Amino acid sequence: MSKTLRLILGDQLNAQHSWFESKSNNTLYVMMEILPETNYVKHHIQKVVAFFLAMRSFSENRREEGHQIKYFQLDDEDNQQCFGRNLSALIQSEKIERFEYLLPDEYRLDKQLREFSKSLSIPSEAIDTEHFLTKRTELTNFFKGKKTYLLESFYRDMRRQYDIMMEDNEPLTGKWNYDAENRNKYDPKVPIPSPPLFEREVTDIVQALDKLKVKTIGRIQAKKFTWAVTREEALKTLDFFVEKCLVHFGTFQDSMHKDEPFLFHSRLSFALNAKILHPLEVVRKAISHWQAHQDKIDIAQVEGFVRQIIGWREYMRGVYWAKMPEYATKNYFGHTQKLPEFYWTGETKMNCLSQAINQSLDNAYAHHIQRLMITGNFALLAGIDPDEVDAWYLGIYIDAIEWVEITNTRGMSQFADGGIVGTKPYTSSANYIDKMSNYCKNCFYDKKEKTTENACPFNSLYWNFYDRHRDKLSKNARIGMAYRNLDRMKPDDKANLLEKAKQYLENLDKL
Ligand code: FAD
Ligand code: SF4
């Protein structure tokens, strides 16, 4: 029988994959930690550690089940730090006659592995990861001929296809979407439960990264790495979420709080993106918990959660495969400013940015609204080059893998795709930030002021953004109000506002 080599990438940790249904002495699995993967962007130290821990425990578990696995640790002597070179060496030394790999979710790796396979003299095949609910091209076909890809129609189709919260092909409660009910400020009277933490020692990984001079960002406590990286831990985190957080998930989904980085969010994105958890098992667990506790948990909570996973997550992946590689070059507004230094240090007088960035540096995590309406909003208003914004988001978050990072960042948050993902840019002045958080209370800047010395930068930058992009945005029906307000301003007020924005834009690093 011919001997097969099967490659598993770091974000393909699906223990339920059909590959593992049977064992064979003629199948050798290979996993590797290599420098090009740690260095293609400057990653948060916790992100690299999380992937290595997850990969190592996945390989150990498969080995214990009786599968043959070759695992290259980053500092192993025989590690040639390259997929192609490590694979070729194994093909030769193990007399491999067939090569298989799981379809990568990143364009970069997809291309690399296709080219590697073509260069081989043995047969090769790419196999589905059996993780996503849609095929790569499904969204392209769904929206054929459309300029804007409306999430809502795709989401409804997913609900129907997978029979999720449906009755007779109609939404269970007669309504598809409860988004309007998910916009409350956090009420400190509602206690936030403490999530399960999985403390482990990670000194050896941190030392190996140092030894190989891998540059990282962010902070880590060597003995207190607490993210869920195994299936068992991920399932515990899921149980915790449905039992303790789901009840308030939708209500406080968009709120932000200076002392509460996680609020009622699930913290499941790493486990989902590394494929440790399957999206259907996650939504089914949430739905069955809701069904058993309908007296306590409102449908808006569970619908909001389900929409993120079977809607947004699948949708973003579909956009990625429909639009790459051009998507990575999109810059609709022609923004060219450099990302301010404080994105890397958290040192800024703007309390909202300081909180969101420092939480990110501490935890490799910020929740959706912090990413969209604080760091993303500011980068957009300040006209930062989307390449720099992308590199920051791709590096800093534990869950950042290009297919979901770039579509959220370049698309949803920077509108650099000119309106494929969103119908209008997500922007706001201090008003929205104050409505949804407790950041403004302790800020150096004054949320109410627009042009005075310590006026909140968001207020003038907001109007400057709409003023400078009038040609691109004024015809968008969803933004009409902003232009009507801008045009109603007294000429002197408007000039002062734009002058204030100019001063801030010239001194971004000092804000
Ligand atoms: P919860 O709030 O508990 O949501 C549950 C799950 O829904 C998440 O785990 C995630 O799998 C899914 N989800 C929610 N929103 C989205 C979304 N917009 N797109 C795709 N899936 C979603 N998510 C990533 O997984 N990786 C990224 O690199 C990433 N980059 C982002 C960049 C920006 C600028 C923005 C605005 C959002 C980004 N998101 C990204 C989406 C979202 O912020 C994270 O998925 C979420 O914060 C993860 O935390 P959680 O698991 O606690 O999520
Ligand atoms: Fe942010 Fe402005 Fe509020 Fe300060 S006042 S926290 S800068 S929105």
State the average pLDDT over residues 373-401: 98
| pLDDT of 183 above 80 | no
Say which residues have a Cβ less than 8 Å from residue 476's Cβ, sequence separation at least 6.
423, 424
374 CB less than 6 Å from ligand 2?
Answer: no
Say which residues have a Cβ less than 8 Å from residue 24's Cβ, sequence separation at least 6.
1
155 CB less than 6 Å from ligand 2?
Answer: no
Measure the N-to-C terminal CA separation of the chain; round to a whole number of Å: 66
Q: Which residue has the tokens 């957080």?
A: 245
* Residue 443: pLDDT band with limits 50, 70, 90: very high
- CA distance linking residue 117 with residue 6, whole number of Å: 12
Tell me the range of 198-202, 409-413, 422-426 where mean pLDDT is highest: 409-413
HSE-up (13 A, CA, CB side) for residue 14: 25
Structure confidence by residue, pLDDT tens digits, 26-72: 999 999 999 999 999 999 999 999 999 999 999 999 999 999 999 99
Q: For residue 434, which ligand has an atom nearest its CA?
A: 2
- CA distance linking residue 437 with residue 442, whole number of Å: 11
- CA distance linking residue 247 with residue 250, whole number of Å: 8
| pLDDT of 146 above 80 | no
| pLDDT of 415 above 70 | yes
| pLDDT of 147 above 80 | no
Length of the chain: 511
State the average pLDDT over residues 319-339: 96
CB atoms within 10 A of CB 6: 21
Higher pLDDT, 200 or 91: 91
State the average pLDDT over residues 157-181: 89
The superfamily CATH assigns to domain 4-127 is: HUPs (3.40.50.620)
| pLDDT of 1 above 70 | no
**CA distances (Å), origin 23, targets 18, 19, 65, 286:** 11, 9, 9, 33
- Within the chain, all domains assigned CATH 3.40.50.620 are found at 4-127
Structure confidence by residue, pLDDT tens digits, 233-287: 999 999 999 999 999 998 999 999 999 999 999 999 999 999 999 999 999 999 9
- CA distance linking residue 98 with residue 423, whole number of Å: 47
CB atoms within 10 A of CB 259: 9
**DSSP type of residue 412:** I
Report which ligand 1 atom has the smallest distance to the Cα of 268.
51
Distance 366 CA to ligand 2 centre (A): 17
405 CB less than 6 Å from ligand 1?
Answer: yes
Distance 345 CA to ligand 2 centre (A): 18
- Within the chain, all domains assigned CATH 1.25.40.80 are found at 138-323
- CA distance linking residue 5 with residue 3, whole number of Å: 7
**139-159 b/e with 16+ CB inside 10 Å = b?**
beebbeeeeebebeebbbebb
319 CB less than 6 Å from ligand 1?
Answer: no
338 near 391, Cβ under 8 Å? no
**390-405 b/e with 16+ CB inside 10 Å = b?**
bbbbbbbbbbbbbbbb
Mean pLDDT taken over the chain: 95
The CATH label, of 1.20.120.350, 1.25.40.80, 3.40.50.800, 1.10.510.10, for the domain at 138-323 is 1.25.40.80
Please report which helix (H) or strand (E) contains residue 376, including its range.
none
426 near 381, Cβ under 8 Å? no
Distance 404 CA to ligand 1 centre (A): 8
365 near 359, Cβ under 8 Å? yes
In sequence order, the β-bridge partners of residue 27 are 4
* Residue 150: pLDDT band with limits 50, 70, 90: confident
Query: So what's the pLDDT on residue 409?
Result: 98
Query: So what's the pLDDT on residue 264?
Result: 95
Query: So what's the pLDDT on residue 424?
Result: 93
Query: So what's the pLDDT on residue 184?
Result: 86
Cβ-in-10-Å burial (0-12, 13-18, 19+) of 189 comes to exposed
Report which ligand 1 atom has the smallest distance to the Cα of 266.
3
Ligand 2 mutation target, pool 258, 353, 441, 445, most atoms within 8 A of CB:
445
Q: Considering only CA atoms, which of 122, 98, 121 is closest in space to residue 5?
A: 98
Please report which helix (H) or strand (E) contains residue 370, including its range.
helix 368-370
360 CB less than 6 Å from ligand 1?
Answer: no
Structure confidence by residue, pLDDT tens digits, 96-118: 999 999 999 999 999 999 999 99
351 CB less than 6 Å from ligand 2?
Answer: yes
The CATH label, of 1.10.8.420, 1.10.260.40, 3.40.50.300, 1.10.579.10, for the domain at 342-510 is 1.10.579.10
Ligand 2 mutation target, pool 439, 449, 459, 462, most atoms within 8 A of CB:
439
Q: What is the DSSP string of 199-267?
A: -B--HHHHHHHHHTT--EES---TT-B-S--SHHHHHHHHHHIIIIIHHHHTTTTT---TT-SSTT---
Distance 92 CA to ligand 1 centre (A): 41
Q: Whose CA is nearest to atom 2 of ligand 2?
A: 456
Q: What percent of the chain has pLDDT over 90?
A: 89
Report which ligand 2 atom has the smallest distance to the Cα of 459.
2
Distance 107 CA to ligand 2 centre (A): 37
Q: Whose CA is nearest to atom 3 of ligand 2?
A: 440
**CA distances (Å), origin 6, targets 13, 101, 127, 141, 469:** 13, 5, 10, 31, 50
Q: Whose CA is nearest to atom 14 of ligand 1?
A: 308
Distance 368 CA to ligand 1 centre (A): 6
5 near 101, Cβ under 8 Å? no
State the average pLDDT over residues 195-217: 93
Query: So what's the pLDDT on residue 17?
Result: 98
282 CB less than 6 Å from ligand 2?
Answer: no
379 CB less than 6 Å from ligand 1?
Answer: no
Query: So what's the pLDDT on residue 173?
Result: 83
Ligand 2 mutation target, pool 351, 355, 438, 511, most atoms within 8 A of CB:
351
**DSSP type of residue 384:** B
Cis preceding linkage at 325, omega within 30:
yes
- CA distance linking residue 486 with residue 488, whole number of Å: 5
Ligand 2 mutation target, pool 433, 451, 460, most atoms within 8 A of CB:
433
458 CB less than 6 Å from ligand 2?
Answer: yes
| pLDDT of 509 above 90 | yes
Q: Whose CA is nearest to atom 8 of ligand 1?
A: 269
Q: How, if at all, do strands 170-171 and 166-167 pair?
A: antiparallel
365 CB less than 6 Å from ligand 2?
Answer: no
